[in-house]
Chain A
Amino acid sequence: MNAQAQALRHSLVLAGRGVTKLRKSPVQLVDVILTPVVFLLMFVYLFGGAIAGGDLDAYLQAIVPGIMVMTVFQASVGIGVSLNADAGTGVFDRFRSMPVTRSAPLIGAVLADLVRYLVSLAVLLGLALIMGYRVQTGPLAALTGIGLLLAFGLSFAWLSVYIGMLVKTPGSVTGLMTILILPLTFASNVFVPSQTMPGWLRVWSGVNPVSLMSDAMRGLLNGGPVAGSLLGALAWMTGAIAVFFPLAMRAYRRNAS
């Protein structure tokens, strides 16, 4: 078996480990189930009236694609915390002492997290449909959107993996990630149109990956332009993997010695 096939096999076997563990203790899914529910209810019913001037249906239609992005983003950054805790147990040392591809435990964990993204998206879409949200385009566009969201989550997961491998305790991973994701999620056009923001914030919101991906998702689900924002989002995704995958692997190796 060549090295790539071996790496893929080991990663998939270890992804299977992650999925088994999720199945055995579904409590680990509570955060990805509650986050979209809380955000959807809070922004539509609590702030929605003020932000949208009373037209809740239109506001719901506008924010659901963005909340999907935010949900996947938040689900993807949880990986650093769980990997940090996992790497502290003896299991990773056992893998390291075996002829197992070095990157496989990390890639496997990231792949297993796809289950969390999917659960989160399913809950969000289910609730949104009950509240009156409708996909305006078609099933193909919607599926493309979901696929892109999964890729978005998989890319930014590596930032979290990197921090998870760098920092000593799971608690400090959570702290650092919170500081990093707040400006990405809230200083974006997910909840409010960026025209209302001061210039400097509008500039940031315009290049923010969460904004770009939200624009692309709005286009794919509600209809409208997709290409420009999608290209920007894809550039961010490529960049996130290109930078944080090698960094995460290096930190993981360092961790070992």
Chain B
Amino acid sequence: MHVIRAEGLIKKYGGTTALDGVDLEVPVGKVIGILGPNGAGKTTTVRILATLLRPDGGRAEVGGHDVVRDPVRVRGLIGLTGQYASVDEGLSGTENLVLLGRLLNLSKRQARARAAELLERFALTEAAGRPIATFSGGMRRRLDLAASLVGRPRILFLDEPTTGLDPRTRNELWGVVRELVADGTTVLLTTQYLEEADQLADRITVIDRGKVTAEGRPGELKRRIGGQILHVRPTLRGDLDAVARVLAELTGTTPARDENIGLLSAPADDPMLVSALVRRLEQAGIPADELGLRLPSLDEVFLALTATTERNAA
């Protein structure tokens, strides 16, 4: 059963088309990642699904309710966190969460209890009474997330939840998202970070310039751009050129060079190439620190997918 379903969503701002027919399906209890560069249409998609924006074409259902015809029902089911749906800077953490609880028709006492529970869960109890202006980036993001959970939503929209956070804080937030999913919450997450989608999402939809350019499980997407990657890191930088020549000979393509870490990589369709490479390096007496086959990273997938779109568009 799909809890979020969008068909052919179109949104235009004046002359520019922000969304040009986006389709989306999210099964219950899963995490879907919407991946794309800045301006791809990720936020527009979320705003339409969260009833903040009316689409100019297409239709979308959240929890079985049409977002245009029955927005109030949809709003009762969702939680939203993003740079735009945030908390009130003029109030403390507790005051913010109590306010939201009261707006969701909790009594004063219930709203206070719910606020305390969420602050505890997000390790914000100590800072609960402080002005939000004094919060660190990570605390602020945790409070934003807590604010979207006051009504215990079954469907959660996270619009770029970790943009601008340091890696440690980002990992913390990922942990929270995993817990929510373990509790059965369906999550739609937008991100510019391929790693984030790879870490959290069951399925990924890649969008670029308002169009879906790819869809699938992270593994499928990686495989879709073809084969595996043969990579090798010679122990001595001086051997880079020699190894590059060997790789080119074996794979028939010019290998990619990462000069910073002294790594060479090239697409490899034939797994036997690994042993061939080992033999050639042995004969030449070139030692290597790292050598193997791997699936391409999502960065490589993403670049390949968007590059394809550009070529088709041109």
Number of B interface residues in the complex (CB < 8 A):
30
Bound Cα distance from A1 to B106, whole angstroms: 13
Does any Cβ of B come within 8 Å of A97's Cβ? Answer: yes
- Residues in chain B near residue A257, CB distance under 8 A: 52-54
Does any Cβ of B come within 8 Å of A137's Cβ? Answer: no
A89 touches B80 (CB 8 A): no
Query: Quick one: CB contact mask for B67-107 with A, threshold 8 Å, 1 for yes?
Result: 00000100110101011111111110001000110111100
B51 touches A97 (CB 8 A): yes
Bound Cα distance from A14 to B82, whole angstroms: 21
B86 touches A91 (CB 8 A): yes
Shortest CB-to-CB span from A166 to chain B, Å, is 18
- Residues in chain A near residue B87, CB distance under 8 A: 90-91, 94
Bound Cα distance from A94 to B148, whole angstroms: 8
Does any Cβ of B come within 8 Å of A99's Cβ? Answer: yes
Does any Cβ of B come within 8 Å of A96's Cβ? Answer: yes
- Residues in chain A near residue B105, CB distance under 8 A: 1, 6, 9
Bound Cα distance from A90 to B84, whole angstroms: 4
Does any Cβ of B come within 8 Å of A93's Cβ? Answer: yes
A14 touches B103 (CB 8 A): yes
Query: Quick one: CB contact mask for A1-27 with B, threshold 8 Å, 1 for yes?
Result: 100001001100110110011001100
Shortest beta-carbon contacts, A-B, top 6? A90-B86, A97-B80, A99-B75, A21-B90, A94-B85, A13-B102
Binding site for B on A (CB under 8 A): 1, 6, 9-10, 13-14, 16-17, 20-21, 24-25, 89-91, 93-100, 104, 256-257
5 contacts between A and B (CB under 8 A): A21-B91, A90-B82, A91-B86, A91-B88, A96-B52
Besides A16-B99, A90-B84, 14 other A-B contacts (C-beta < 8 A): A10-B103, A90-B85, A91-B86, A93-B52, A94-B85, A94-B87, A96-B52, A97-B78, A98-B75, A98-B104, A99-B72, A99-B75, A104-B103, A256-B53
